[in-house]
Structure 1
Amino acid sequence: MAGIFAYAVIFLITVVLYRLLRREKKESQGRAEAELPPGSMGWPYIGETLQLYSQDPNVFFAAKQKRYGEIFKTHILGCPSVMLASPEAARFVLVTQAHLFKPTYPKSKERLVGPAALFFHQGDYHTRLRKLVQASLSIETIRNLVADIDALAASALDSWDGGRVINTFHEMKKFSFEVGILLIFGRLEARYREELKKNYFIVDRGYNSFPTNVPGTPYKKALLARKRLSKILSDIICERKEKRLLEKDLLGCLLNYKDEKGEVLTYDQIADNIIGTLFAAQDTTASVMTWIVKYLHDNPKLQEAVKAEQKAIRRLNEEGNQPLSWSQTRNMPVTYKAVLETLRMASIISFTFREAVADVEYKGYLIPKGWKVMPLFRNIHHNPEFFTDPQKFDPSRFEVAPKRNTFMPFGSGVHACPGNELAKQEMLIMTHHLVSKFRWEVVGSRSGSQYGPFPVPLQGLPTRYWKESTR
């Protein structure tokens, strides 16, 4: 009897092993049928990183696409990568098959923002947190913030008056930071705001520095400032809980959240998502607003058209004695098209990083598990097939809606920027005050970009500003 049982066990094991081997053989055959995309992996270890960073990154990507087509492989930043430069491919990665590609960031950046931040995750946690962030960015919320953003923009521009040279990008970052504070905390005490600002900008400076944990380096200073930020945020949270405030700002949404089991978010989860929101809300929006200043400066006819539209609104508001209204920001057709064209031309988010969580086949090519996948938004935005004469700044092209998936300035799919409507409000409100009250002159070179990592005009666009009535 024991012998029969032993034979039965051996038989079953043999059958299971046979089936597993057959399945593995089929999978390997299927994988062999799909080839890696064309392209060069460059030198051992360093790949093509030097080529990417020794020139304008957009020239690197455009040259690759011209040589290999809309899907190609390379090796950058220590990672084998597949780059995709078609609307269909971007939609495949970001929307229809998004579950096969996870967000990926260097660990050094996760440490500074916080590992629990929304954009480092996917799945249930990401879905829950995204709903909370979206709740704090609802149209109703943004509508109620218009008057406050209007006051912040007016105050920021007033401080630029006088004709001294201003680093436009740095000043736009300060303005975006204040809008971020308003969104997250509502009206925050000055002492907290100043401490947050001081430490946040130390973290910001270290974010794109070489990640060495040596005392005195920008990265080490950023890590220490990040700890101080956690302490400041903890104090703000404790104070709000003691006062039992039920605000509808982002902090309120995070504090009041309970899942189906009644569990709340931890202090670290709340802090990480607040810092993450500040990062997401600041540099990108500030970059776009800096490009708006440049493109309006370089296109006098367009500037006059935008100025006429905004001055008409200002006259309705009794020469600025009344703040902009939500309905007015929704009725700025000339300015809005200029904003959209700036988003296309500048393409602040040139590409996004994803990582394949399994072997994926796309149009006969293999994307191996663990490889980075990069939809190239800028290549799509600058493709003459979708945008005629793409290097020309022409807002009139947006009189007709772009073809589907050809215009993605805020990304696409479940990880698209949830703050895109707020960002556009900032741009419209800042532009209103700029053109209706000021004149400006760009100082030095008027061409070229620098990356940090987002593209901005050289040296942050040094510019002199004067109030029209005082020049």
Structure 2
Amino acid sequence: MDTVCTLIYVILFLTTLFSYPSIKKQKKKPERAAELPPGSLGWPFIGETLLLYSQDPNVFFASKQKRYGEIFKTHILGCPCVVLASPEAARFVLVTHANLFKPTYPKSKERMIGPSALFFHQGDYHSKLRKLVQGSLSPETIRKLVTNIEAIAISALESWADGQVVVNTFHEMKKLSFDVGILSIFGQLEGKYREKLKENYCMVDKGYNSFPTNLPGTAYSKALLARKRLSEIVSEIICGREEKKLLQKDLLGCLMNSRDERGKTALTKDQIADNIIGVLFAAQDTTASVLTWILKYLHDDPKLLEAVKAEQNAIYEANDGGKKPLTWAQTRNMPLTYRVILESLRMANIISFTFREAVVDVEYKGYFIPKGWKVLPLFRNIHHNPEYFPDPQKFDASRFEVSPKPNTFMPFGNGGHSCPGNELAKLEMLILIHHLVTKFRWEVVGSQSGIQYCPFPVPKYGLPAKFWKELNSPKQDP
């Protein structure tokens, strides 16, 4: 473990070192009336990156906020940053003055997903594309997927329910989320394409957070080759649909059928592939992380688990002991389960912050934010602020019986770049929880505390657990 940590530090040091020329340029600013926010930029070249990654990131940001207030500066991952930890500031950056800030990602990650992906853009292209993606993932569309998602969830749970084998819950949830993502993008996809997509996507996923060196044999190099194959597979699927003149209403169909002002195809095959892969990336790890935390929170609170079971058993009995499938209306009427999901999102904070970059010099609350600096709205500190959520370290689903104050709860972001697939993610969670608590039991194995980041926070070791079927669960018809 120490060797791994040392390697991480070396990588981070090299990243910041290589970015030094751009840092020097950013320091040359004209005189101004407003001052930079308080804070520290840390060591030359390295900044405070090693300090951030040598401890729990939440402790790093919380200690900074306690010392400097809700606006402070730092220097991480090779970039000077202004961190904002208030609802008003998050709204300023993400909603009311979003035109002053652009989404920003490392070039290595942009290359891995694809430069035409939705979340790398602003302006007309982003607006038109977002409407297409939102339309294909809207409640009106995903309500037709309930039965298919239910089949995926049941199949996954039954594959875990050995009772003896310890499974890595997070890894299994990733497989589940991937299958749901494929369903929402491609509908009922042929098995050969599904396997090719899964094989190559897994290689891309492994290389996504590796050191971006394109030397033969490295994880990053293998991921780039797999990424190229993904585009080829998507292109092949598109050609097949065009030949058969299929007009399906899944995400791929929406992207293929989009037209510009002259009535011509609006997106190229490469643009479509970039956005499909982007949606898979956005959906898989985040949803899998939340599902893993939900299982842990329910496992750790037997009274809450029994209450959720009671709510879901009522639906189970209404469906003739589980013989009838869930309906969309039933998924809309799970108030306690839904509050558990919301509280899990608040507690776990899968997306702790988001990166933006100032496209012009900006003044906010008397502080100066230079053009080119990164700006980090800090969701976690807002979600764990006792002013908005009393006793914030306590898991309390009842707090969502009343809607939170505006801009204090942003698990899916806010504004024009908020997650367009949040309804699909919540539907997936509701369906899995229903079948989990009505038909199965689980027990966490080993240590039940600790968090690891990969890069999203998950329970330590991916929450190892054993699953088995409830003895009193009625046998399902073959």
Offset, 1:31:
5.6
Offset, 1:261:
2.7
The aligned counterpart of 1:129 is 129
The aligned counterpart of 1:269 is 271
CA shift digits 1:253-306 (9 cap, x unpaired) = 011111113342111100000100101111100000000000000011000000
Cα distance in 1, alignment partners of residues 414 and 132 from structure 2: 19
CA shift digits 1:188-210 (9 cap, x unpaired) = 00000000001001101111111
The aligned counterpart of 1:320 is 322
The aligned counterpart of 1:436 is 438
Offset, 1:469:
1.5
1:151/1:323 contact within 8 Å kept: no
Cα distance in 2, alignment partners of residues 469 and 208 from structure 1: 42
SS in 2 for 1:446: coil
The aligned counterpart of 1:152 is 152
Cα distance in 2, alignment partners of residues 59 and 289 from structure 1: 24
Q: Judge which range, 257-266 or 101-110, deviates more.
A: 257-266
Q: What TM-score does the superposition give when structure 1 sets the normalisation length?
A: 0.93
Letter in 2 for 1:96: T
Q: Within 5 A, what are the aligned runs for 1:261-300?
A: 261-264=262-265, 265-300=267-302
The aligned counterpart of 2:61 is 61
The aligned counterpart of 2:217 is 216
Cα distance in 2, alignment partners of residues 448 and 329 from structure 1: 32
1:71/1:85 contact within 8 Å kept: yes
Q: Within 5 A, what are the aligned runs for 1:411-422?
A: 411-422=413-424
1:101/1:356 contact within 8 Å kept: yes
The aligned counterpart of 1:14 is none
1:450/1:459 contact within 8 Å kept: yes
The aligned counterpart of 2:22 is none
The aligned counterpart of 1:4 is none
Cα distance in 1, alignment partners of residues 139 and 180 from structure 2: 16
The aligned counterpart of 2:181 is 180
Cα distance in 2, alignment partners of residues 369 and 120 from structure 1: 18
The aligned counterpart of 2:233 is 232
Cα distance in 1, alignment partners of residues 378 and 73 from structure 2: 13
Cα RMSD, aligned residues only: 1.3
Offset, 1:29:
12
1:440/1:465 contact within 8 Å kept: yes
The aligned counterpart of 2:140 is 140
Q: Judge which range, 125-134 or 257-266, deviates more.
A: 257-266
CA shift digits 1:63-95 (9 cap, x unpaired) = 000000000000000000000000000000000
1:136/1:248 contact within 8 Å kept: yes
Offset, 1:339:
0.5
Letter in 2 for 1:220: S
Letter in 2 for 1:405: N
Cα distance in 2, alignment partners of residues 394 and 29 from structure 1: 47
The aligned counterpart of 2:25 is none
Please list every run of 5 or more consecutive structure 1 residues that lacks an aligned counterpart in the other structure. 1-27
The aligned counterpart of 1:247 is 248
SS in 2 for 1:441: strand
Letter in 2 for 1:54: S
The aligned counterpart of 2:110 is 110
Cα distance in 1, alignment partners of residues 60 and 418 from structure 2: 25
1:31/1:366 contact within 8 Å kept: no
The aligned counterpart of 1:392 is 394
Cα distance in 2, alignment partners of residues 89 and 320 from structure 1: 47
1:82/1:374 contact within 8 Å kept: yes
Letter in 2 for 1:380: I
Pick from 344, 351, 367 the counterpart of residue 365 of structure 1.
Answer: 367
Letter in 2 for 1:186: G
Distance 1:79 1:243, change over 3 A: same
CA shift digits 1:226-276 (9 cap, x unpaired) = 011111111101001000000000010011111113342111100000100
Distance 1:29 1:410, change over 3 A: closer
Q: Judge which range, 336-345 or 261-270, deviates more.
A: 261-270
Cα distance in 1, alignment partners of residues 308 and 138 from structure 2: 28
The aligned counterpart of 1:86 is 86
SS in 2 for 1:75: strand
In the comparison of the two structures, how many residue pairs are matched? 444
Letter in 2 for 1:328: Q
Cα distance in 2, alignment partners of residues 120 and 292 from structure 1: 30
Cα distance in 2, alignment partners of residues 332 and 257 from structure 1: 36
SS in 2 for 1:82: strand
Please list every run of 5 or more consecutive structure 2 residues that lacks an aligned counterpart in the other structure. 1-27, 474-478
CA shift digits 1:339-390 (9 cap, x unpaired) = 0000000010000000000000000000000000000000000001100000
Cα distance in 2, alignment partners of residues 278 and 299 from structure 1: 32
Cα distance in 2, alignment partners of residues 370 and 323 from structure 1: 52
Letter in 1 for 2:157: L
SS in 2 for 1:40: coil
Offset, 1:214:
1.2
Cα distance in 2, alignment partners of residues 192 and 258 from structure 1: 26
Cα distance in 2, alignment partners of residues 43 and 249 from structure 1: 50
| Aligned residues with identical type, % of pairs | 76
Letter in 2 for 1:272: D
The aligned counterpart of 2:195 is 194
Q: What TM-score does the superposition give when structure 2 sets the normalisation length?
A: 0.92
Cα distance in 2, alignment partners of residues 381 and 318 from structure 1: 40
